[in-house]
């Protein structure tokens, strides 16, 4: 990521390298002598949290800008959904049945990446959480099309490595969930959500809330698998209870296949009333 400095002052990278060449003395070995930005113990102090938040916002933003990515297609979905060929390894029958969405996510990502390649990979680049399951399928579909894709990984107590299909130059890692979720949405031109667990629900409802409250512009918001979503969440009950407005149910649409999703994204328009929405 290093870029040549545009000013005549000595750059920080040079000082970072030469700092290791000083004589070994009690003074140079003391923590106080370390360059602040090169002192990991210092950077991890509680008081430096605002700086770390800023760094996690800036690093992916700068690298995506330098790569030329202007817009993305977001894929959310469960890490535990297996590839159909391995569905016998699923821990439940439901997960095995949901394995079909691995193929739908892969095909959807392939189709959208083909369109992205028409813009020299600058528009509608697939972005996932970088892990297994649906995330792997999304990154894999981009590879199938000969394109690139983004992985926004996060450090978890039980570390999981990025899947093998994320473009290495676009494979990021986060400490803060909040900053990671900002990067999912900052360039989003569509959000596609596949069946998943707590993490998928969290991402889904935060994005819907931002759109509902006008903090984010309305974009295509597609839920793959009507049967799953209507069994897990009683959407109509929320509206009937008055905790959301009936119009809020217009913020998303149900789809079943990759082709259906691509068609809806290409022909997305704000509906005038709920009954006019395809897929409901």
| Model confidence pLDDT, tens digit, residues 130-148 | 999 999 999 999 999 999 9
Q: What are 127's strand-pairing partners?
A: 74, 150
- What average pLDDT score do residues 41-57 get? 97
pLDDT of residue 278 exceeding 70: no
pLDDT at residue 272, as a whole number: 42
Tally the C-alpha atoms within 13 A of residue 185's C-alpha that lie toward its C-beta: 21
Higher pLDDT, 271 or 163: 163
**What ranges do the domains of the chain cover?**
68-273
* CATH number belonging to the domain at 68-273, selected among 3.90.1150.10, 1.10.10.10, 3.40.50.450, 3.40.190.10: 3.40.50.450
Q: What are 173's strand-pairing partners?
A: 153
pLDDT of residue 72 exceeding 70: yes
List strands edge to edge, sheet with 171-174: 171-174, 149-154, 125-128, 72-76, 188-193, 221-224, 253-255
Measured CA to CA, the distance from residue 37 to residue 249 in angstroms comes to 48
Measured CA to CA, the distance from residue 185 to residue 130 in angstroms comes to 15
pLDDT at residue 13, as a whole number: 77
Write out the two tokens for 168. 């290495």
pLDDT of residue 280 exceeding 60: no
Measured CA to CA, the distance from residue 154 to residue 191 in angstroms comes to 19
pLDDT of residue 273 exceeding 60: no
Instruction: Characterize 156-180 residue by residue with b for buried, 16 or more Cβ atoms within 10 angstroms of its Cβ, and e for exposed.
Output: eeeeeebbebbbeebbbebebeebb
């Amino acid at each position: 990521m290093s870029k040549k400095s545009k000013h005549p002052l000595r750059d920080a990278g040079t000082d970072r390298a030469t700092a290791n060449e000083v004589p070994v003395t009690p003074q140079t070995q003391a923590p106080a002598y370390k360059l602040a930005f090169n002192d990991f113990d210092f950077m991890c102090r509680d008081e430096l949290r605002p700086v770390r938040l800023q760094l996690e916002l800036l690093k992916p933003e700068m690298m995506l800008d330098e790569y030329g990515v202007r817009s993305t297609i977001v894929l959310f979905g469960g890490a535990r959904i297996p590839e159909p060929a391995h569905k016998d390894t699923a821990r439940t029958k439901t997960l095995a049945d949901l394995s079909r969405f691995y193929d739908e996510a892969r095909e959807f990502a392939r189709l959208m990446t083909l369109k992205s390649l028409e813009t020299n990979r600058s528009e509608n680049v697939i972005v996932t959480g970088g892990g297994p399951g649906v995330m792997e399928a999304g990154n894999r579909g981009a590879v199938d099309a000969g394109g690139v894709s983004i992985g926004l990984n996060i450090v978890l107590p039980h570390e999981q490595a990025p899947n093998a299909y994320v473009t290495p130059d676009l494979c990021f890692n986060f400490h803060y969930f909040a900053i990671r979720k900002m990067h999912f949405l900052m360039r989003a031109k569509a959000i596609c959500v596949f069946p998943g667990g707590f993490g998928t629900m969290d991402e889904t409802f935060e994005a819907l809330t931002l759109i509902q409250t006008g903090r984010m512009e309305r974009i295509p918001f597609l839920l793959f698998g009507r049967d799953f979503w209507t069994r897990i969440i009683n959407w109509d009950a929320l509206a009937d209870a008055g905790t959301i407005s009936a119009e809020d149910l217009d913020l998303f649409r149900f789809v079943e296949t990759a082709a259906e999703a691509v068609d809806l994204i290409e022909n997305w328009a704000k509906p005038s009333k709920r009954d006019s929405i395809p897929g409901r």
